[in-house]
Structure 1
Protein backbone atom coordinates (compact mmCIF):
# COMPACT_ATOMS: atom_id res chain seq x y z
CA UNK A 1 0.00 0.00 0.00
CA UNK A 2 2.94 2.32 0.73
CA UNK A 3 4.15 1.94 -2.87
CA UNK A 4 0.71 2.88 -4.17
CA UNK A 5 0.81 6.11 -2.12
CA UNK A 6 4.20 7.01 -3.57
CA UNK A 7 2.91 6.39 -7.10
CA UNK A 8 -0.11 8.59 -6.41
CA UNK A 9 2.07 11.39 -5.02
CA UNK A 10 4.45 11.16 -7.98
CA UNK A 11 1.52 11.20 -10.41
CA UNK A 12 0.07 14.29 -8.72
CA UNK A 13 3.42 16.08 -8.84
CA UNK A 14 3.84 15.26 -12.53
CA UNK A 15 0.39 16.67 -13.26
CA UNK A 16 1.25 19.77 -11.23
CA UNK A 17 4.49 20.08 -13.18
CA UNK A 18 2.64 20.05 -16.48
CA UNK A 19 0.07 22.58 -15.29
CA UNK A 20 2.63 24.90 -13.73
CA UNK A 21 5.13 25.01 -16.60
CA UNK A 22 3.68 28.28 -17.78
CA UNK A 23 4.44 29.85 -14.39
CA UNK A 24 8.07 28.82 -14.16
CA UNK A 25 10.79 31.41 -14.64
CA UNK A 26 12.79 31.32 -17.83
CA UNK A 27 16.59 31.57 -17.58
CA UNK A 28 17.61 35.11 -16.69
CA UNK A 29 14.10 36.01 -15.62
CA UNK A 30 13.42 36.33 -11.90
CA UNK A 31 10.05 35.60 -10.41
CA UNK A 32 9.16 36.29 -6.81
CA UNK A 33 6.80 34.62 -4.38
CA UNK A 34 6.78 31.10 -5.74
CA UNK A 35 3.76 29.16 -4.63
CA UNK A 36 4.20 25.69 -3.17
CA UNK A 37 2.58 24.32 -6.31
CA UNK A 38 5.24 26.01 -8.43
CA UNK A 39 8.04 24.73 -6.18
CA UNK A 40 6.53 21.24 -6.42
CA UNK A 41 6.38 21.55 -10.20
CA UNK A 42 10.04 22.55 -10.30
CA UNK A 43 11.05 19.57 -8.17
CA UNK A 44 8.70 16.95 -9.65
CA UNK A 45 11.27 15.83 -12.26
CA UNK A 46 13.72 15.26 -9.39
CA UNK A 47 11.64 12.58 -7.66
CA UNK A 48 13.38 9.63 -9.34
CA UNK A 49 16.78 11.00 -8.29
CA UNK A 50 15.61 11.84 -4.77
CA UNK A 51 14.09 8.41 -4.18
CA UNK A 52 16.32 6.10 -6.24
CA UNK A 53 19.63 7.88 -6.74
CA UNK A 54 21.62 7.89 -9.94
CA UNK A 55 21.89 11.19 -11.77
CA UNK A 56 19.29 13.98 -11.82
CA UNK A 57 17.64 14.61 -15.17
CA UNK A 58 18.19 17.84 -17.09
CA UNK A 59 14.53 18.75 -16.33
CA UNK A 60 15.24 18.24 -12.63
CA UNK A 61 18.27 20.52 -12.73
CA UNK A 62 16.30 23.07 -14.75
CA UNK A 63 13.72 23.08 -11.95
CA UNK A 64 16.40 23.57 -9.29
CA UNK A 65 17.81 26.49 -11.30
CA UNK A 66 14.31 27.97 -11.61
CA UNK A 67 13.84 27.83 -7.85
CA UNK A 68 17.15 29.59 -7.31
CA UNK A 69 16.36 32.26 -9.91
CA UNK A 70 12.89 32.76 -8.45
CA UNK A 71 14.00 33.28 -4.86
CA UNK A 72 16.18 36.41 -4.82
CA UNK A 73 15.26 37.65 -1.34
CA UNK A 74 15.69 36.03 2.06
CA UNK A 75 11.90 35.90 2.49
CA UNK A 76 11.48 34.25 -0.92
CA UNK A 77 14.05 31.64 0.13
CA UNK A 78 12.33 31.00 3.47
CA UNK A 79 8.93 30.65 1.78
CA UNK A 80 10.27 28.28 -0.89
CA UNK A 81 12.15 26.35 1.80
CA UNK A 82 8.90 25.66 3.66
CA UNK A 83 7.41 24.34 0.41
CA UNK A 84 10.45 22.15 -0.27
CA UNK A 85 10.35 20.86 3.30
CA UNK A 86 6.65 19.98 2.99
CA UNK A 87 7.26 18.21 -0.33
CA UNK A 88 10.19 16.28 1.18
CA UNK A 89 7.98 15.15 4.05
CA UNK A 90 5.50 13.69 1.53
CA UNK A 91 8.15 11.45 -0.01
CA UNK A 92 8.40 8.56 2.42
CA UNK A 93 11.27 7.02 0.46
CA UNK A 94 13.32 10.22 0.10
CA UNK A 95 17.03 9.44 0.31
CA UNK A 96 18.54 12.15 2.49
CA UNK A 97 21.97 11.79 0.88
CA UNK A 98 20.49 12.30 -2.59
CA UNK A 99 18.49 15.30 -1.37
CA UNK A 100 21.62 16.87 0.10
CA UNK A 101 23.56 16.21 -3.12
CA UNK A 102 20.92 17.62 -5.49
CA UNK A 103 22.26 21.20 -5.82
CA UNK A 104 25.83 19.97 -6.32
CA UNK A 105 24.74 17.36 -8.87
CA UNK A 106 22.88 20.12 -10.75
CA UNK A 107 25.85 22.49 -10.43
CA UNK A 108 23.72 25.07 -8.63
CA UNK A 109 24.74 26.91 -5.48
CA UNK A 110 21.38 26.94 -3.74
CA UNK A 111 20.57 28.31 -0.31
CA UNK A 112 17.46 26.14 0.02
CA UNK A 113 18.26 22.61 1.14
CA UNK A 114 16.03 19.71 0.14
CA UNK A 115 15.38 18.28 3.58
CA UNK A 116 12.63 17.21 5.94
CA UNK A 117 14.26 18.92 8.91
CA UNK A 118 15.60 22.28 7.73
CA UNK A 119 14.86 25.26 9.93
CA UNK A 120 13.74 27.57 7.15
CA UNK A 121 13.69 30.59 9.48
CA UNK A 122 17.48 30.59 9.51
CA UNK A 123 17.86 31.15 5.76
CA UNK A 124 19.00 34.60 4.64
Structure 2
Protein backbone atom coordinates (compact mmCIF):
# COMPACT_ATOMS: atom_id res chain seq x y z
CA UNK A 1 0.00 0.00 0.00
CA UNK A 2 2.96 2.35 0.58
CA UNK A 3 3.85 2.40 -3.13
CA UNK A 4 0.35 3.62 -3.89
CA UNK A 5 0.81 6.56 -1.55
CA UNK A 6 3.99 7.44 -3.38
CA UNK A 7 2.27 7.81 -6.75
CA UNK A 8 -0.15 10.36 -5.51
CA UNK A 9 2.70 12.28 -4.00
CA UNK A 10 4.26 12.64 -7.38
CA UNK A 11 1.15 14.47 -8.43
CA UNK A 12 1.33 16.73 -5.43
CA UNK A 13 4.96 17.37 -6.10
CA UNK A 14 3.98 18.65 -9.50
CA UNK A 15 1.40 20.85 -7.91
CA UNK A 16 3.89 22.44 -5.58
CA UNK A 17 6.54 23.12 -8.23
CA UNK A 18 9.47 22.70 -5.83
CA UNK A 19 11.22 20.09 -3.61
CA UNK A 20 13.43 19.45 -0.56
CA UNK A 21 13.82 16.88 2.24
CA UNK A 22 12.32 19.14 4.90
CA UNK A 23 8.68 18.71 5.94
CA UNK A 24 6.10 21.25 4.89
CA UNK A 25 4.65 23.69 7.44
CA UNK A 26 3.56 21.46 10.27
CA UNK A 27 3.42 18.32 8.11
CA UNK A 28 5.98 15.55 7.80
CA UNK A 29 6.44 13.59 4.61
CA UNK A 30 4.67 10.62 6.21
CA UNK A 31 1.72 12.85 7.12
CA UNK A 32 1.54 14.14 3.55
CA UNK A 33 1.56 10.56 2.23
CA UNK A 34 -1.27 9.67 4.59
CA UNK A 35 -3.30 12.67 3.42
CA UNK A 36 -3.04 11.65 -0.23
CA UNK A 37 -3.45 7.91 0.34
CA UNK A 38 -7.21 8.12 -0.41
CA UNK A 39 -6.29 9.29 -3.94
CA UNK A 40 -4.54 6.08 -4.95
CA UNK A 41 -7.62 4.27 -6.23
CA UNK A 42 -8.49 7.20 -8.49
CA UNK A 43 -4.90 7.67 -9.69
CA UNK A 44 -4.60 3.99 -10.58
CA UNK A 45 -8.00 3.93 -12.32
CA UNK A 46 -9.71 1.73 -9.73
CA UNK A 47 -12.41 4.40 -9.31
CA UNK A 48 -13.82 7.01 -11.66
CA UNK A 49 -13.70 9.93 -9.23
CA UNK A 50 -11.43 10.87 -6.34
CA UNK A 51 -12.79 10.26 -2.85
CA UNK A 52 -13.68 13.31 -0.76
CA UNK A 53 -10.81 12.60 1.69
CA UNK A 54 -8.42 12.64 -1.28
CA UNK A 55 -9.37 16.16 -2.30
CA UNK A 56 -9.46 17.36 1.32
CA UNK A 57 -5.98 15.92 1.92
CA UNK A 58 -4.58 17.53 -1.21
CA UNK A 59 -6.03 20.88 -0.20
CA UNK A 60 -4.52 20.58 3.29
CA UNK A 61 -1.07 19.84 1.87
CA UNK A 62 -1.26 22.83 -0.46
CA UNK A 63 -2.44 25.13 2.33
CA UNK A 64 0.31 23.83 4.64
CA UNK A 65 3.04 24.68 2.13
CA UNK A 66 2.90 28.47 1.57
CA UNK A 67 6.64 29.13 1.17
CA UNK A 68 8.93 28.08 -1.65
CA UNK A 69 11.00 25.98 0.76
CA UNK A 70 7.90 24.15 2.03
CA UNK A 71 6.64 23.59 -1.51
CA UNK A 72 9.99 22.09 -2.49
CA UNK A 73 9.87 19.71 0.48
CA UNK A 74 6.33 18.60 -0.29
CA UNK A 75 7.12 18.24 -3.99
CA UNK A 76 10.12 16.03 -3.35
CA UNK A 77 8.26 13.89 -0.83
CA UNK A 78 5.34 13.28 -3.14
CA UNK A 79 7.43 12.82 -6.26
CA UNK A 80 9.56 10.16 -4.60
CA UNK A 81 6.44 8.42 -3.33
CA UNK A 82 4.76 8.49 -6.71
CA UNK A 83 7.76 6.93 -8.41
CA UNK A 84 7.03 3.74 -6.49
CA UNK A 85 3.36 3.41 -7.43
CA UNK A 86 2.67 0.93 -10.21
CA UNK A 87 0.03 1.80 -12.82
CA UNK A 88 -0.13 5.47 -11.90
CA UNK A 89 -2.14 7.35 -14.52
CA UNK A 90 -0.09 10.49 -15.13
CA UNK A 91 -2.98 12.34 -16.80
CA UNK A 92 -5.17 11.80 -13.75
CA UNK A 93 -2.31 12.86 -11.50
CA UNK A 94 -1.66 16.01 -13.53
CA UNK A 95 -5.35 16.94 -13.43
CA UNK A 96 -6.11 15.99 -9.83
CA UNK A 97 -6.33 19.58 -8.58
CA UNK A 98 -8.76 20.43 -11.37
CA UNK A 99 -10.78 17.27 -10.71
CA UNK A 100 -10.92 18.17 -7.01
CA UNK A 101 -11.85 21.77 -7.94
CA UNK A 102 -8.77 23.17 -6.23
CA UNK A 103 -7.37 26.32 -7.79
CA UNK A 104 -3.59 26.63 -8.05
CA UNK A 105 -1.64 29.63 -9.34
CA UNK A 106 0.64 27.67 -11.65
CA UNK A 107 0.71 24.93 -14.23
CA UNK A 108 2.76 21.79 -14.07
CA UNK A 109 3.70 19.06 -16.51
CA UNK A 110 4.93 15.49 -16.57
CA UNK A 111 8.51 16.79 -16.69
CA UNK A 112 8.10 19.04 -13.67
CA UNK A 113 11.22 19.65 -11.60
CA UNK A 114 10.81 20.42 -7.92
CA UNK A 115 13.99 22.45 -7.62
CA UNK A 116 12.80 25.26 -9.93
Query: What is the TM-score with the length of structure 1 in the denominator?
Result: 0.67
Note if 1:43 corresponds to 2:36: yes
Give the equivalent residue in structure 2 for 1:82.
Answer: 76
The CA distance in 2 between the partners of 1:12 and 1:100, in whole Å, is 15
Q: Are the equivalent residues in 2 in contact too, given 1:89–1:116 (CA < 8 A)?
A: no
Q: Which runs of 5+ in 1 are unaligned?
A: 1-7, 14-30
**Are 2:5 and 2:40, in contact at CA under 8 Å, matched by a contact in 1?**
no
Which one of 40, 54, 60 corresponds to residue 54 of structure 2? Answer: 60
Deviations 1:65-85 (A, max 9, x none): 101110010110010000110
* Alignment match, 1:118: 112
Determine which structure has more spread, i.e. the larger CA radius of gyration.
Answer: 1
User: Runs of 5+ in structure 2 lacking a partner?
Assistant: 7-23
Offset at residue 103 of structure 1 (A): 0.4
For these two proteins, the number of residue pairs brought into alignment is: 98
Contact 2:5 2:33 in 1 (8 A): no
- 1:19 is matched with none
